[in-house]
Structure 1
Amino acid sequence: MSLSIPFVYHASYSQLALPSTHRFPTTKYHNLYQHALKQQLLFEQYRHTPTPISKDTLYTVHCPQYVEQFINGALDHKAQRRIGFPWSQELVTRTLHAVNGTRLCAELALDHGIAVHLTGGYHHAHYDFGSGFCIFNDLVIAARSAIDSGRADKVLIFDCDVHQGDGTATLTQGNPDIISCSIHCAQNFPSRKQQSDHDIALDKGCTDKQYLEHIQQILPYLIRIHQPDLIIYDAGVDIHQHDDLGYFSISNLGILARDKQVISIAKMHGIPLAAVIGGGYSRSEAELTIRHSQLLVAANELWASQY
């Protein structure tokens, strides 16, 4: 088995033209990809490129009418505004590739023990509407696909983005084979929280020590009671103390320690881990790249000895 990390990336992830005042950092995916290759955290020969996801696969999780309206640019202004992006063909291309990228990442994790997707974590997407820069819920789609293909009986979505995965919560309610866990800031978006299978709401100003203690307690507990065949890990870095949209006080070292914890715990229990980079917002492209790269540093450090 190769000791290099299989990863998923498509050029369309950063090919989205937005107004200069828009707070969404479209460049971060390409920047992370280039940084990872330069620092030899990832290697081009282990890159997997997704195709656009099929409508039929989207229909397994989302309302067909909503799917058609988004793809054809027929959503009304209110619905498009709730998503947070102006509609464009580039947005459709990016979305279809990115959502399928997480599904592919899950397949690779089941094959190799671990895999990383250089985007993903669209946890605010609900059955028939998008929200908070999320159009289709790649986490739930990937989980559903792994189960429907017979490769997993139960999947744990372990969401460490600073914002609650409200779309994931609503989409997995009543689905005992997909377990949703969201560790988030209680006082952050969305204002109206939904009910995940497990919600850990932490207060503003949460420190490295407090945060890591929760991770160390909750993930082994979830594995013990649910015994998942796959973990889909949203490694959002908007928990960082200087994130534009986060209210925690987590350092770069805290992010690295979290990612090491999650990877180590998954391996210790012999559970494949599919990681997506999740949210992260900063006007400094260089700082954002470093924050997201902690996941890759952690995976490399633990890869040879653990998988």
Structure 2
Amino acid sequence: MNLRHHPTDLYQEVPASCWPIVYSPDYNITFLALEKLHPFDSGKWGKVITFLRDEQLITDDTIVTAREATESDLLVVHTRRYLNKLKWSFVVATITEIPPLLFLPNFLVQRKVLRPLRTQTGGTIMAGKLAIDRGWAINVGGGFHHCSSEKGGGFCAYADITLAIKFLFDHVQGVSTATIIDLDAHQGNGHERDFLDDKRVYIMDVYNRYIYPGDNFAKRAIKRKVELDWGTEDEEYLQKVDTHVQGALNEMKPDIIIYNAGTDILDGDPLGGLSISPQGIIKRDEIVFTIARSRGIPILMVTSGGYQKRTAKIIADSILNLHSRGLIHKGPPEYPDTAAINKR
């Protein structure tokens, strides 16, 4: 590893005994029941880990504990002006869409709301390096794709996807291109604004065209745009994902894929407006990992949006399916026999 820019504690050697799965109990937001005022299940990340532990895929000793991104880490992408704005509770209330935060002292907002988001951001940055080292990695949190260097929104206060990519470009030799595959139900306008004129980053975005954020300026950054209609179902959706992921990687073979795997595409999600079944989400993730791993491209998955209580179980089931299909494993990089996978 060649640290050409600022030093960081986020890039550390990880024992081979650990899965490249990143998590911290600090991800979860539980504070005066304020989390119940937002449709987001702010404890879903811990629930994913509990399901994986119950299925004996992981133990607390075999996952990578996320570290909080420091101000120095965040300044790799964010302006100091933006970070200073987060010292105002009303700004955080607007970004997180939890109005009562407006009335709380900022030190509490920092500790109880922003610190979990900074820890998830650190987790995404850490998982980027792990993906290069191991061939794949999953941050059980992160995917704050509405936040850019200068502006947050949609529950996204830090630009973790942009940060992960910039860290890799700046710190790891041989990583100079990246593809973002954004399959959250919403347009990923944050990373799109950050990479608007950066030819090193290819963005594919599949989203409901009728919902937040509708950021036409940011859409100019999308190299492969797939706009969905209300109520899109499994067959059409999975066919489009397969076709366009293949097409995106045919246009540019990146050094890493950042996969924003939102579960707000699930049927019944109050904010997504799509009609994908739990099995459809599991198959979607399998398709993306199969294509990435068959082409020998490291992949980092972040979990992003998902606004129903059942999404945590679906995320865990998807990770278990990736393991059962031979698409993820513990230990050094090893690319699966996709011919065998496709026969299953």
> Do the two structures share a fold, i.e. TM-score over 0.5?
yes
Question: Are 2:266 and 1:252 equivalent residues in the alignment?
Answer: no
Structure 2 residue aligned with 1:117: 139
State the alpha-carbon separation in 1 of the partners of residues 51 and 277 from structure 2: 20
Q: 1:95 aligns with which of 117, 122, 137?
A: 117
Structure 1 residue aligned with 2:7: none
Q: Secondary structure at the match of 1:142?
A: helix
Q: Is the 8 A contact 1:4 1:43 kept in 2?
A: no
Structure 1 residue aligned with 2:3: none
CA spacing shift, 1:3–1:11, aligned 2, 3 Å: closer
Question: Are 2:319 and 1:296 equivalent residues in the alignment?
Answer: yes
Query: 1:30-49, aligned counterparts within 5 Å?
Result: 30-49=46-65
Structure 2 residue aligned with 1:190: 213
Q: Is the 8 A contact 2:233 2:276 kept in 1?
A: yes
Q: Is the 8 A contact 1:79 1:129 kept in 2?
A: no
Q: Is the 8 A contact 2:187 2:214 kept in 1?
A: no
Alignment deviations for residues 140-186 of structure 1 (CA, whole Å, 9 cap, x no partner): 11011111113411011111000000111111111111222211111
State the alpha-carbon separation in 2 of the partners of residues 147 and 78 from structure 1: 30
State the alpha-carbon separation in 2 of the partners of residues 168 and 198 from structure 1: 14
Q: Is the 8 A contact 1:105 1:117 kept in 2?
A: yes
Superposed displacement of residue 278, structure 1: 1.3
Seq. identity, %: 25
Q: 1:263 aligns with which of 281, 286, 289?
A: 289
Structure 2 residue aligned with 1:150: 172
TM-score w.r.t. the length of structure 1 is 0.91
Q: 1:242 aligns with which of 243, 255, 268?
A: 268
State the alpha-carbon separation in 2 of the partners of residues 169 and 143 from structure 1: 13
State the alpha-carbon separation in 2 of the partners of residues 201 and 3 from structure 1: 41
Query: 1:1-307, aligned counterparts within 5 Å?
Result: 5-17=19-31, 18-19=33-34, 20-70=36-86, 73-74=87-88, 77=90, 80-85=93-98, 86=101, 88=109, 89-151=111-173, 152-193=175-216, 194-195=218-219, 196-282=222-308, 285=309, 287-301=310-324, 302-303=327-328, 306-307=335-336
Superposed displacement of residue 79, structure 1: 6.2
Q: Is the 8 A contact 2:68 2:119 kept in 1?
A: yes
State the alpha-carbon separation in 2 of the partners of residues 156 and 265 from structure 1: 13
TM-score w.r.t. the length of structure 2 is 0.82
State the alpha-carbon separation in 1 of the partners of residues 207 and 75 from structure 2: 28
Superposed displacement of residue 135, structure 1: 0.5
Q: Is the 8 A contact 1:252 1:294 kept in 2?
A: no
Q: Secondary structure at the match of 1:303?
A: coil
After alignment, is 143-152 or 296-305 more displaced?
296-305
CA spacing shift, 1:115–1:251, aligned 2, 3 Å: same
Larger Rg, first or second structure (1 or 2): 2
After alignment, is 216-225 or 259-268 more displaced?
216-225
State the alpha-carbon separation in 1 of the partners of residues 54 and 250 from structure 2: 39
CA spacing shift, 1:3–1:251, aligned 2, 3 Å: farther
Q: Is the 8 A contact 1:5 1:300 kept in 2?
A: no
Q: Is the 8 A contact 1:13 1:98 kept in 2?
A: yes
User: Runs of 4+ in structure 1 displaced over 6 angstroms?
Assistant: 1-4
Alignment deviations for residues 24-79 of structure 1 (CA, whole Å, 9 cap, x no partner): 21111111111111112333332111222132332222111111332xx236x356
Aligned length: 301
CA spacing shift, 1:203–1:303, aligned 2, 3 Å: same
RMSD: 2.0
